[in-house]
Amino acid sequence: MKTTNKEEQIQLAEDALLHVYNRYSLVLDKGDGVYLYDTDGKKYLDFAAGIAVMAFGYNNQEYNDALKAQIDKLLHTSNLYYNVPTATAAEALKKVSGMDRVFFTNSGAEAIEGAIKAAKKYAYTRDGHSGHEIIAMNHSFHGRTIGALSVTGNAHYREPFEPLMPGVAYADFNDLESVKAQVTDKTCAIIMETIQGEGGIYPASKEFLEGVRALCDEKDILLILDEIQCGMGRSGHMFAWQGYGVKPDIMTSAKALGCGVPVGAFLMTEKVAKKSLAPGDHGTTYGGNPFVGAAVTKVLEMMERDRITDHVQEVGAYLSEKLEELVAKYDCLTAHRGVGLIQGVVCTKKVGEISAKALEHGLILITAGSDVLRFVPPLVIEKSHVDEMVEKLSACLDELS
């Protein structure tokens, strides 16, 4: 059934889709560069990037052409056979991450599931028994599946679905003593986001990350770093942990890894690979098919060639400066956090109302936690786009005050 009226399209979705999202009354139709357009033709500056996914913005011809070429060649074969795009993508991902082994998934949550399984199998192989435990962080977010929920440090997300995976303890992010207090002889892994995203844009401190790494080395505990949102250039480094010089044993990636094509990955060192997942332990039908392999390969090629991390550092510094100016100007903005193009400001007003008001001004802006405005635009934005965002956001804040 084809509809052209916005209200009809919204009603069609409400009647057919499971109601698990409280969507804005906006029907997006197309995108170009860092702008989106709704079905009424209204133009929006996008500072959400599909929740940190669309690193190159919209309608990038080079990226589109690579996907079209692969569609005409081969979409899917299963993992019973080899294919060129997936092997090429895995080698490219190894190169930029410094990790040794790659497993492609369909989503970030599946990447977390695989990382958890790999850590548990590593400990099982080492100790000869199961029953190992994981330490996660309060206020963290790792996904919506049972395993990912189990290590998500927000009771609001977990409670309706309990009992979840047992053997998870929670520590406070950036509090090393809190982590040490949770360690037992059953602890097999510590999992955290290098920069907490949904929890309110909290970067790990260098001392904390180095301390956790040292603790893991001392006790043969695996460090799992979730780079699903903060990775793929968004911090100004290809992966945020690289800015700290603290390498994980296992890491996860997704979102901008495919720039719109649903793909995730978990990666590990050779040490972990040799003692963890073996044939029969894990698998996926769609994960790493030729189509997503072509997407990942092109994304990594473009990021390296165009020196995206250098660009993010430059524009991210400018964004940081402008957000600091906003915090100084408006009483309702009380703090600013973040690096690169993953930043946030703490707000005493209802952030959902600001996000909704922004749409009226042609600005797409999302939130993090209950009181943070989140800025995760396409990585290709320029300083002029930051200025445009500030102008639109200022107009929103002026109206709401």
Q: What is the pLDDT along the chain (401 residues), one digit of tens a residue?
A: 444 688 999 999 999 999 999 999 899 999 999 999 999 999 999 999 999 999 999 999 999 999 999 999 999 999 999 999 999 999 999 999 999 999 999 999 999 999 999 999 999 999 999 999 999 999 999 999 999 999 999 999 999 999 999 999 999 999 999 999 999 999 999 999 999 999 999 999 999 999 999 999 999 999 999 999 999 999 999 999 999 999 999 999 999 999 999 999 999 999 999 999 999 999 999 999 999 999 999 999 999 999 999 999 999 999 999 999 999 999 999 999 999 999 999 999 999 999 999 999 999 999 999 999 999 999 999 999 999 999 999 999 999 98
Structural tokens at position 247: 């390498």
Whole-angstrom distance, CA of residue 95 vs CA of residue 87:
12
Whole-angstrom distance, CA of residue 18 vs CA of residue 231:
30
- The full set of domain ranges for the chain reads 6-60+307-400, 74-305
Q: What is the pLDDT of residue 395?
A: 97
Q: Which CATH number fits domain 6-60+307-400: 3.40.50.620, 3.40.50.2300, 3.90.1150.10, 3.40.50.300?
A: 3.90.1150.10
Q: What is the pLDDT of residue 4?
A: 60
Structural tokens at position 388: 């445009």
Phi and psi, residue 388, nearest 5°: -65, -40
Q: What is the pLDDT of residue 258?
A: 98
Instruction: Supply the pTM of this predicted model.
Output: 0.96
* β-sheet bridge partners, residue 192: 225
Q: What is the pLDDT of residue 1?
A: 40
Q: What is the pLDDT of residue 383?
A: 98
18 burial (CB, 10 Å; 0-12 / 13-18 / 19+) is exposed
Q: What is the pLDDT of residue 3?
A: 45
Phi and psi, residue 159, nearest 5°: -55, -45
Asked if the 74-305 domain carries CATH number 1.10.1060.10, the reply is: no
Identical fold between 6-60+307-400 and 74-305: no
Whole-angstrom distance, CA of residue 391 vs CA of residue 385:
10
Q: Which CA distances in Å does 313 have to 52, 203, 239, 320?
A: 16, 15, 13, 10
